[in-house]
Amino acid sequence: MNFIMEGGPIFMVPLLIILIIITILFAKGLKNNSEKTYKLINSISLFAFVFGVLGFVIGLLGALEDMSNANNIAPQVLAGGFKVGLLSPTFGMVIFLVGKLFSIILMSKKN
């Protein structure tokens, strides 16, 4: 769970909450499979992906502002910053894929 604090709790904690919500909706969908649950999982997982990318863009804009004010930036610092910045969209993509997998399972059980 260190990657959540390393990736920035402002975006990573809501993404973790979204993952928990998707998991709860999936469990609910297994008991009472409805079109509403399927669509809700799809929408929330897509929101998680876009929210993760938004976290990266906002972080990148702040980093570019700091880099424009700095004279000399070591490549190691730049690479480390990109690694940390990419944690949020990566977690969003994982949540999106999990949501899509849950949607596929619910659709297959419906038919």
Distances (CA, A) of 16 to 4, 9, 11, 34, 71: 8, 10, 9, 24, 37
Looking at the predicted structure, is the pLDDT value of residue 2 above 80? no
Domain ranges for the chain: 11-110
Chain centre distance of CA 10: 12
Cβ atoms < 10 Å from Cβ of 37:
19
What's the whole-model pTM score?
Answer: 0.87
Residue 74 has a pLDDT of 82
Looking at the predicted structure, is the pLDDT value of residue 81 above 90? no
Report pLDDT digits (tens) over 42-56. Answer: 999 999 999 999 999
